[in-house]
Amino acid sequence: MPLVRIDIRKHKDPTFAKRAGLQVFAALQATMNVPDHDLFQVLAEHDAEHMIYDPQYFGIPRSDGIIFVQITLNEGRTVEQKKALYQTLAAGLERELHVRQEDVFINLVEVKKENWSFGNGLAQYATS
C-alpha cells in the first residue's frame, strides 16, 4: 500500500500533476507488485519560493522542471526492485510528460505494516 506524494512547481498544464501520478502508479505496478485500485496520492504544486533544490548535487544538473516523488510503502522490497522502480519511473515521466530524467527526484520511506490504518480506526495489516 504505497502513499505517494508528488511535489512540482506550478505548471501551466492543470493535468500535469495528475498525469505524473498515473506514471508513478504504473511504475509501482510494474516493479513493486502494487495491486489495482491501490492508488493513494497527494499532489502539490508550489511557487518558486517554496520549491527548493540544489541544481548540481551529485553532479546532476537539475532545472525548475524538477519533480519530487516520495513514496511511503511497506518494507521488504529488494534493492533490485527499487532500482527498477527508479529507472521505470524516470523513463515513463520522460516519455509521457517530457520530464528530464535529471529532474526526477525519488525518495522511498519504508514502514512496518502495522503503521497503516485504511479507515475505521483499524490497523488492517496488524497481525496481533
pLDDT of res. 126: 84
Q: How far is residue 103's CA from residue 62's CA, in Å, rounded to a whole number?
A: 5
Please report which confidence band the pLDDT of residue 118 belongs to, taking 50, 70 and 90 as the band edges.
confident
Q: Which ranges constitute the DSSP H helices of the chain? A: 16-32, 79-97
Does residue 74 lie within any of the structural domains?
Answer: yes
Looking at the 3D structure of the chain, how many domains does it have?
1
Does residue 69 lie within any of the structural domains?
Answer: yes
pLDDT of res. 1: 80
pLDDT of res. 49: 96
Q: How far is residue 99's CA from residue 38's CA, in Å, rounded to a whole number?
A: 25
pLDDT of res. 117: 87
Q: What is the DSSP letter of 48?
A: G
Does residue 123 lie within any of the structural domains?
Answer: no
Does residue 36 lie within any of the structural domains?
Answer: yes
Does residue 124 lie within any of the structural domains?
Answer: no
Does residue 23 lie within any of the structural domains?
Answer: yes
Which residues lie below 8 Å from residue 17, measured CB to CB, with a gap of 6+?
6, 8, 11, 43, 44, 45
Residues spanned by the domain of 7: 3-115
State yes or no: pLDDT of 127 exceeds 80. Answer: no
Judge whether 9 and 64 are in contact, CB under 8 Å: yes
Of the residues 2, 14, 35, 61, which is catalytic? 2
Q: How far is residue 113's CA from residue 94's CA, in Å, rounded to a whole number?
A: 32
Average pLDDT over residues 96-103: 98
Number of H helices, E strands in the chain: 2, 4
Q: The domain spanning residue 104 has which CATH number?
A: 3.30.429.10
Query: Has 2 been annotated as catalytic?
Result: yes
pTM attached to this predicted model: 0.94
Q: What is the pLDDT of residues 4-63, one digit of tens each?
A: 999 999 999 999 999 999 999 999 999 999 999 999 999 999 999 999 999 999 999 999
Cell digits of residue 19 = 498525469
Does residue 22 lie within any of the structural domains?
Answer: yes
Does residue 16 lie within any of the structural domains?
Answer: yes
Instruction: Please give the share of the chain, as a percent, with pLDDT higher than 90.
Output: 90
Q: How far is residue 91's CA from residue 75's CA, in Å, rounded to a whole number?
A: 24
pLDDT of res. 128: 63
